[in-house]
Structure 1
Amino acid sequence: MKVCLVGSSGGHLAHLYMLQPFWRDKDRFWVTFDKEDARSLLRDERVYPCHYPTNRNLRNLVRNIGVAWRVLRKEKPDLIVSSGAAVAVPFFWLGKLFGAKTVYIEVFDRIDKPTMTGRMVTPVTDRFVVQWDEMRRVYPKAVCLGSIF
């Protein structure tokens, strides 16, 4: 199984990295910002940089659609996993066109309100994961697996 782990640097990337027991033995690649924390954490990993800032930035959304198109055509992942933020959107939507399954993990600090990214990827997400039971009222089809921390 080939896995694409896509997310902003910082807390989103830290969330994905904490899933190491899942991805450690998989053929995997990462898509994140070319920032110091990502370069340090992922120094021995296959990484594709994406454009930032992403939140509410139409220009970089368009640019990241291009990145997603190129990366997904080249890598052909079976599964795309993200905990946000906006860079996940083009990867989830285009990933579905390429036949990938998608898993979105809503961030830990959201207890009773959806994120913009969560709302945007819900239509194409095969498994939506929340970390608080209260979030199942916001995302009725979500699965609550508890805290990643």
Structure 2
Amino acid sequence: MKICLVGSSGGHLTHLYMLKPTWEQYERFWVTFDKEDARSILEGEKVYPCYYPTNRNLKNLIRNTLVAWKVLRKEKPDVLISSGAAVAAPFFYLGKLMGKKLIYIEVFDRVDKPTMTGKMVYPIVDEFIVQWEEQLKVYPKAKNFGSIF
């Protein structure tokens, strides 16, 4: 199985990296911002850079959609995993069109309101994971796996 881990640098990337026991035995690649924290955390990993800023930035949404198209066609992952933010959307929508399994993990710090990315991908994902019982009110089809931290 090949995994695509896609997310913004910073907390979203840290969130995904904390799942290392889940993904470390599989072939994988990452899509994130080319920033110092990402380069440091992902040293030795296969990484594809994406464009930022992403929030409400139409130009970078288009650019990241092109990145997603190229990377997904080249790498052919079986599953895409993300905890956000906006860079996940083009990867997930194209991944869905390509028949990939999609797993989204809503961030830890949103207890009673959805994130924009969460709202965007919720209708299309195969698994939507939350970390708080309260989040099930926002995402009734989600699964609560508890805190990753």
Q: Describe the SS at the equivalent of 1:123.
A: coil
What is the identity, as a one-letter code, of the residue corresponding to 2:94? L
1:85-124 mapped onto 2 (5 Å cutoff): 85-124=85-124
**Structure 1: where are the runs of 5+ without partners?**
none
Residue of structure 1 equivalent to 2:140: 140
Residue of structure 2 equivalent to 1:47: 47
Q: Measure, in 1, the Cα distance between the counterparts of 2:3 and 2:105.
A: 15
Please report the TM-score for the alignment, with normalisation by the length of structure 1: 0.99
Q: Describe the SS at the equivalent of 1:28.
A: strand
Report the alpha carbon displacement of residue 124 of structure 1 after superposing the two structures with TM: 1.3
**Structure 2: where are the runs of 5+ without partners?**
none
Runs of at least 4 residues off by over 3 Å = none
Report the alpha carbon displacement of residue 97 of structure 1 after superposing the two structures with TM: 1.3
Q: Deviations over 1:17-58 (max 9, x none)?
A: 000001100000000000000001101000000000001111
Residue of structure 1 equivalent to 2:12: 12
Report the alpha carbon displacement of residue 14 of structure 1 after superposing the two structures with TM: 0.1
What is the identity, as a one-letter code, of the residue corresponding to 1:144? N
Residue of structure 1 equivalent to 2:59: 59
Q: Percent identity?
A: 72
CA RMSD of aligned residues (A): 0.4
What is the identity, as a one-letter code, of the residue corresponding to 1:134? E
How many residue pairs align between the two structures?
A: 149
Residue of structure 1 equivalent to 2:32: 32
Q: Deviations over 1:88-112 (max 9, x none)?
A: 0000000011111000000000000
Native 8 Å contact 1:106 1:130 kept in 2: yes
Q: Describe the SS at the equivalent of 1:72.
A: helix
Please report the TM-score for the alignment, with normalisation by the length of structure 2: 0.99
Report the alpha carbon displacement of residue 148 of structure 1 after superposing the two structures with TM: 0.3
